Structure 1
């Protein structure tokens, strides 16, 4: 196991972590708006996060008849807070808020909690469209979650540890993405899945009037949308210590490389949204169980054999 290289910072630094996460989410929203504008032959879009936030804050908050408001809003607020829990174990260079021995398991536990959060939003609104959206998300989740778990196992096996800092330190000289491309790809699919993003956004599609967000308005909708983008940013950030060498890189300090790599992965995920069509839950379930899961297990087997050979 590699030597400990991570320094735990005081809790007050959580404020900085929050600002960084907000900044990454802001970048994702702005880039998404710019790409949308260019696809329609226009320009601009970088101010979309500010204008969209102002519009929703001015909007009147509404609710459906007989809605379970507590469950409904717990789901939205949980999406907002869950991303913070993810980034708490990600080292920014050599610094981290929590250096958990089971950081990979922590990440996986938070992403599984998204199942409950999105479902609560679909159920609590007391709306047919919202409920159908919740079921669609659960169908996607059944297909991406198990392959994602096995994708997370691969770097942990190679590093001999579940601590995120140890996994990043174990990549000195060769990033895991080089010899674990399948695990990296499956991981990114899982990130888009629990972010309700891109091909996995059928829970929010127009054919069910917006699905789980059909009845959301004002600050409720703002919190949910911010949570989606923050989860996407947190997932992109987690890929850096897992597969992209953490803060390793020439000339610049480690924290700068973590941010640069995170922005690069996040930009690719945002860009791909327009390149890949929505995945029907029933069809993706077949892909997940028949292709992604065996591929992730095979990747774990290859990594295990390499570790045994070198050991």
Structure 2
């Protein structure tokens, strides 16, 4: 197994990492707004994120009768904070805030937390529509989480380690996306899932008055929505060390290549939101268990055979 080439930096650099995550998330928000405007046949959309944020910050915070305010707030704020926890194990070229031996497991633990956070947001409001939205998300989670776990296993098998730095080092010859494309695609499905994004947004659908978002207002709504974009960004960024060679690339420094690759993956995920219809949880469970799970398990088996054969 190749030695990890990452350098652990001081904890103070976490501020810069958080700023970069927010900046990339803002790029995703802006791109989403521009594409929405074009879909409606109008120009612009570049300033829509700022105007929406300003409107929510000016809005009066409302609540519901007998709401569990603590759980409600924990769910929304947790979406915002959880995304920052994943940044700690994502290398920016050679530099990383932390490189634990179980970095991939750390990422998976944080994304599983989203189950509780979204459900708590739906439960805490004491509203039927919010609660239905929370249960819809749990139904989706049952279908995407296990395939996602097996997708995360594939790079770990190839690298012989659960450390993110070791996974990057193991891609010196060829990026993992080249010989484990199924795991890469299933991973991206999982990213859209825990970001409550695209086809996995029925938890926020109009037929249940916005679902989890139905009773959220003012800064609470802003924080929850920001958390979704931050998780989408963090998921796109984590795909770079897992499957896309980390900071590998010509001319540009490693950290620049990480940013470029992250923006490309993020742009694809934002663009696909309008191309893939919403998936009913019951129907996606069939796809997740009957298609995605067997496919990614077969991918893991193939990777294992290649690793064993190679030495």
The residue aligned with 2:89 is 89
> 1:299, 1:248 → 2: CA distance?
24
> 1:114, 1:4 → 2: CA distance?
30
Instruction: Count matched residues.
Output: 311
Q: After TM superposition, list the pairs within 5 Å mapping 1:38-117 onto structure 2.
A: 38-117=38-117
Q: State the 1:50 CA deviation.
A: 1.1
- CA-to-aligned-CA distance 1:231-276 (integer Å, 9 cap, x gap): 0000000000000000000000000000000000000000000000
Q: State the 1:293 CA deviation.
A: 0.4
> 2:27, 2:45 → 1: CA distance?
11
Q: After TM superposition, list the pairs within 5 Å mapping 1:1-311 onto structure 2.
A: 1-311=1-311
TM-score, normalised by the number of residues in structure 2? 0.99
> 2:283, 2:202 → 1: CA distance?
12
> 1:10, 1:215 → 2: CA distance?
41
Q: State the 1:4 CA deviation.
A: 2.3
TM-score, normalised by the number of residues in structure 1? 0.99
> 2:307, 2:99 → 1: CA distance?
24
> 2:310, 2:289 → 1: CA distance?
31
Secondary structure (helix, strand or coil) at the match of 2:98 reads coil
Q: State the 1:16 CA deviation.
A: 0.3
Q: State the 1:172 CA deviation.
A: 1.1
Q: State the 1:169 CA deviation.
A: 1.2
> 1:38, 1:128 → 2: CA distance?
34
> 2:224, 2:279 → 1: CA distance?
21
> 1:88, 1:47 → 2: CA distance?
30
Q: State the 1:118 CA deviation.
A: 0.4
Unpaired runs of 5+ residues, structure 1, are none
- CA-to-aligned-CA distance 1:205-253 (integer Å, 9 cap, x gap): 0000000010000000000000000000000000000000000000000
Unpaired runs of 5+ residues, structure 2, are none
> 1:268, 1:304 → 2: CA distance?
29
> 1:310, 1:47 → 2: CA distance?
53
> 1:59, 1:150 → 2: CA distance?
43
Q: Flag as ranges the 4+ runs of structure 1 deviating above 6 A.
A: none
Q: State the 1:173 CA deviation.
A: 2.4
